[in-house]
Structure 1
Amino acid sequence: MPTDTGAELEELLTRGDLTPVGRISGSSNGALLCLVGDPADELLVIHKPEATERRLWDYPDGTLVERERAAWLVSEAGGFGVVPPTVLRDGPLGPGSVQQWVGPTTGEEDPLVDVVAPHEVPDGWHVVLEGETPLGEAVVVAHCAEPALRTVAVLDAALNNSDRKGSHLMRDGDAVRGCDHGVSLGVEPKLRTVLWGWSGEPIPEADLARLERLAGALEGRLRDELGALLTEDEVDALGRRVAALLRRREHPRPRGGWPAIPWPAL
């Protein structure tokens, strides 16, 4: 696996030979697991071809793969470190996105989000949804309280992420990474996530600093980069969301008129 970082990693993702090695089971957009680079410097990646996208009525402009790239640019500009490096390039089926694969490094890792019986919720976890199994047994959806996961929640609020499932979250050392941002960055408020546990609580200072950094970046080069991927209204809406988060300094609460939690939650 390569040790390149930053610009070198982005160059590898963009220019390296892309070789499919499998299809992601259950993917709605034909995602492929690929190797990029030569055998001495190869990296696992997820490739999402534009040609196999299933267009959505509420995201009529641009492409979902462009939103994947835009989410990475936003994450990097603010120093969130949540979205794995993501580029746009040609692949076996034409243009699409290529994102560095992030997955478990050990056999079993502690979950970030889980569905458990009410009496099995770990200490300190946040319960975000109560329900029952087909047999009538009570269950809850809950997530841990780790600061790195809280940073994801702040970024999701800025991105207006409408599909933050538990399965879209992975540990990466001390960090938490998130994938599948193709349905983000819309204009209308539609935050839909399993990370509501901090609703109404003050945003930590470290995450406010990230939002400040993002706000500054939106006044410069980042706006131009996003303008090539999103509509002007979408870029403006991103700026308004960031400004509102900085003004209120608290995690948003669920709003009416839009489902607050994706289904399935995991």
Structure 2
Amino acid sequence: MELPAVYKPAQGERPLWDFDQGTLSAREVAAYVTSHALGWDFVPPTVLRPNGPAGPGSLQLFVEADPERHYFTFSQAEKQQLRPVAVFDALINNADRKGGHVLLAPDGRLWLIDHGLCFHVEEKLRTVIWDFAGEPIPDGLKQDLIRFRDGLAGDIRLKTLYDPLLSEEELEALSVRLERLLAHGRFPMPNSERPYPWPLV
């Protein structure tokens, strides 16, 4: 059975001063691994393909969504569903959560895409979703984070999944952010000179 997918070859990545060339496709996969390990599953299944038509890259299941339905057109009730997204972005240090990277499928399911600019060791959280800044993280989400922490510490299979995707420093930084979220227990506040991505959608 053939399924539509989005292929992002590493050789097609735009050079960036703060992310190493050729690593963005691996970060896409690491975001999927993290979403799945948390039990949230809002990143479409994503894998590395070493022999794509333009060389190695990421391959992500294509999800149908109305491009006019995104963060900036969501109702207030729909935005209330985004608490896990805000926690997820803080955890993976998402430097590029644009409004158009949050999709709503025809069945109402929420999907997140475009995670190439994540997992940096330096603080780079840039997102349009600051709706919950300073609020307590709900207990259910904290329990998911605790289970994820336990998995990072004791599940060799999870560590094996991350090994080809992130450096040791990036994986350590992920653990530090996780502990900080659990210790603080609140959604992060904007704390950089540039808390929003550009463009916003």
TM > 0.5 fold call:
yes
2:119 counterpart residue number = 185
Asked if 2 retains the 8 angstrom alpha-carbon contact of 1:61 and 1:231, the reply is no
The yes-or-no answer on 1:206 pairing with 2:140 is yes
- Alpha-carbon deviations, 1:185-235, whole Å to 9, x = none? 001111000100000001112211221121112112222321221111100
Give the TM-score normalised by structure 1: 0.69
The yes-or-no answer on 1:67 pairing with 2:1 is no
Asked if 1 retains the 8 angstrom alpha-carbon contact of 2:10 and 2:22, the reply is no
Q: Structure 2 vs 1, CA of residues 234 and 164 (structure 1 numbering), >3 Å: closer, same or farther?
A: same
Determine the C-alpha separation between the residues in 1 that align with 2:90 and 2:163: 20
Q: How many residue pairs were aligned?
A: 197
1:235 to 159, 168, 171: 171
Q: Give the structure with the higher percent helix.
A: 2
2:2 to 24, 35, 42: 42
Q: Give the structure with the higher percent strand.
A: 1
1:265 counterpart residue number = 200
The yes-or-no answer on 1:95 pairing with 2:47 is no
AA partner of residue 48 (structure 2): L
1:254 to 162, 169, 190: 190
- Can you give the 5+ residue segments of structure 1 that lack an aligned partner in the other structure? 1-40, 116-120, 126-143
- Alpha-carbon deviations, 1:37-93, whole Å to 9, x = none? xxxx22111000111111311112751001011111111111121211000112111
Determine the C-alpha separation between the residues in 2 that align with 1:151 and 1:204: 9
Residue 260 of structure 1: CA displacement?
0.5
Higher RCO structure (Cα 8 Å, ≥6 apart): 2
Percent same amino acid at aligned positions? 42
Asked if 1 retains the 8 angstrom alpha-carbon contact of 2:48 and 2:57, the reply is yes
Asked if 2 retains the 8 angstrom alpha-carbon contact of 1:78 and 1:212, the reply is no
Residue 174 of structure 1: CA displacement?
4.2
Q: Structure 2 vs 1, CA of residues 114 and 240 (structure 1 numbering), >3 Å: closer, same or farther?
A: same
AA partner of residue 216 (structure 1): D
Give the TM-score normalised by structure 2: 0.90
